[in-house]
Amino acid sequence: MSATGEAIIIASNLRKVFPAPRGSKGEPIVAVDDVSFELFEDECLAIVGESGSGKTTVARMLVGLETVTGGELAVRGESRAQSVRRLADRRRWAREVQYVFQDPYSSLNGRQRIVDIIGSSVALHSPAADSARAARAAARDILDSVGLGERFWEKFPHQLSGGQRQRVAIARALAANPGVIVLDEAVAALDVSIQAQILNLLSDIKAQRKVSYLFISHDLAVVNQISDRMIVMEQGKVVDAGVTSEILANPVQPYTRALRAAVPRAGWKPVRRERLAS
């Protein structure tokens, strides 16, 4: 799709600085420096870069897990540059933007059956679910929609595979009926065949619900499959941006060329970045 209409998320000159480690005489760490982007309705925007590039820090600022040091970050016109203290505001923010982590197991309550995990989220975010029975019924429908049928509903997270747990995490995000889902390396821990299943599921959900994705990844093959546009980050800065298919077909920036050259393929040999930049 093309990036048209009103942007849901606008980041302008975004900056995040962490203090130097306690007891260290070093300088503060600039994790994100002058980052700007927009995310539109029914779009998948990928943020790409190596570990330490600042991409996850951007995502964490968006959902309030990190505070913004400088610049502006807005969702549907409302600033998120300052943290909120009121519980009602935090829940409203969560209904607008949900987060799916790389490792779903650590973010799921191991003492709850998966239907109850999803039912709890439904009850928290949906006024229509005015009883535990209604919340569980809605949870079953959501679990069905992510490919987890009746035989999974009463299972605990430890009884599921990695791909199944990631489906639970996606279902929990959908329970809030958000406009945006942040997917932080959401398929990185899965093997290739399961990755393909989850990516197909995400594509189906996007088509059905018109939800937008902010997709954080280091894997250009995955990004090429799912995203409409991408920005490339290096050492906290945006070094490339544009339509995903165009950037990956003909990368101009040296760093983007280095990332593409690192994608394994037939006859692939590692190439040092210095040679690409020359």
CA 253 to chain centre: 24
Average pLDDT on 43-59 reads 94
What is the pLDDT at residue 112? 92
pLDDT at 262 over 90: no
pLDDT at 267 over 60: no
The pTM of this model reads 0.88
Average pLDDT on 4-28 reads 87
pLDDT at 74 over 50: yes
Which pLDDT tens digit goes with each residue over 76-130? 998 888 877 787 778 888 889 999 988 777 888 889 999 999 999 998 887 666 6
pLDDT at 274 over 50: no
Lowest mean pLDDT among 51-60, 74-83, 158-167, 201-210: 74-83
Tokens (6 digits) for 231: 């920005």
Tokens (6 digits) for 50: 């190596």
DSSP 102: S
Lowest mean pLDDT among 115-129, 174-188, 198-212: 115-129
- Residue partners of 165: CB distance under 8 A and separation at least 6: 104, 105, 108, 157
264 phi/psi in degrees, rounded to 5: -60, 140
> Could you count the other beta carbons within 10 Å of the beta carbon of residue 186?
28
Is residue 237 classed as helix, strand or coil in its secondary structure? Answer: strand
Domains, the chain, with CATH or none: 7-277 (3.40.50.300)
pLDDT at 203 over 90: yes
**CA separation for the pair 261, 264 (Å, rounded):** 8
- Which residues on neighbouring strands pair with residue 70, listed in sequence order? 15
**CA separation for the pair 225, 87 (Å, rounded):** 37
What is the pLDDT at residue 272? 52
What is the pLDDT at residue 268? 45
**CA separation for the pair 148, 150 (Å, rounded):** 7
pLDDT at 151 over 90: yes
How many helices, marked H, and strands, marked E, lie in the chain?
11, 10
